[in-house]
Amino acid sequence: MLEADRLHLWRGERHVLRAVSVAVRAGEAVHLAGPNGAGKTTLLRTLAGFLWPEEGSIRWCGRPIAADPDGYAGATAYLGHDNGLKADLTAGENLHYLTRIRRPADDAELAAMLSRVGLAGRAEAPLRTLSAGQRRRVAMARVALSGAPLWLLDEPFTNLDVAAVGILTGLITDHVDAGGLAVFTAHSEVPLGGRTRRLALA
Partner 1 sequence: MSGARDPVSLPSAAARVFGRECRLGVRRVGELLQPVTFFLMVTTLFPLALSPEPSLMRNIAPGVVWVGALLSSLLSLEGLFRADLDDGTLEQLVLAGQPLAGLVAAKVLAHWLLVGVPLVLAAPLAASSLSVPAAALPVLMLGLALGTGVIVFVGAVGAALTLAGRRGSVLLSLLVLPLVMPVLIFGARATDEAVRGDSAAGGLWLLLAMLILAVTLAPLAVAAAVRICLE
Partner 2 sequence: MATWTWFHRLASPPHVYRISGAFLPWLALFTALFIGYGFYGGLVLAPPDYQQKDAFRIIYVHAPSAWLSMLAYVTVAVAAAVGLIWRMKVAHAVAASAAPIGASFTFLALLTGSLWGKPMWGTWWTWDARLTSELILLFLYLGYLALRGAFDDRARADQASAVLAIVGVVNIPIIHFSVVWWNSLHQGSTVMKLARPSMPGSMLWPLLSSLLGFTLLFAALLCVRLRAEIIDRERTASWLRPIVGAA
Ligand X SMILES: Nc1ncnc2c1ncn2[C@@H]1O[C@H](COP(=O)(O)OP(=O)(O)OP(=O)(O)O)[C@@H](O)[C@H]1O
Task: Give the residues lining the site for a second copy (CB under 8 A).
Answer: 11-12, 34-37, 41, 81, 118, 129-134, 136-137, 155, 158-165, 187-188
Residues 43-62 that bind partner 1 (CB under 8 A): 45, 48-51, 60-61
Under the criterion CB under 8 A, does residue 124 sit at the interface with partner 2?
no
Tell me the C-alpha distance between 34 and 37, whole Å: 8
- Say what angle helices 107-116 and 132-145 make with each other, to 10 degrees: 140
90-105: b or e for each residue (b if 16 or more CB lie within 10 Å)?
A: bbbbbbbebbeeeeeb
Residues 37 to 56 in contact with partner 2, rule: CB under 8 A: 52
Is 125 near partner 1 (CB under 8 A)?
no
Pick the piece of the chain touching partner 1 (CB under 8 A) from 17-25, 93-101, 109-117, 168-176.
Answer: 93-101
Of 72 and 157, the one with the shorter C-beta distance to a second copy is: 157
The DSSP line for 84-144 is ---TTSBHHHHHHHHHHTTS---HHHHHHHHHHTT-GGGTTSBGGGS-HHHHHHHHHHHHH
Contacting residue, 6, 15, 25, 103, with partner 1 by CB under 8 A = 103
The CB-of-95 to a second copy minimum distance in angstroms stands at 17
Minimum CB separation of residue 56 from partner 2 in Å reads 15
Q: Which is nearer to a second copy, 11 or 25 (CB)?
A: 11
Rounded to a whole number of angstroms, the minimum distance from the CB of residue 64 to a second copy is: 28
Residue 52 interaction partner, one of partner 2, a second copy, Mg ion, none, beta carbon < 5-8 Å per kind: partner 2
Is residue 11 a contact residue for partner 2 (CB under 8 A)? Answer: yes
Which residues in this chain contact partner 2 in the complex, by CB under 8 A?
11-12, 52
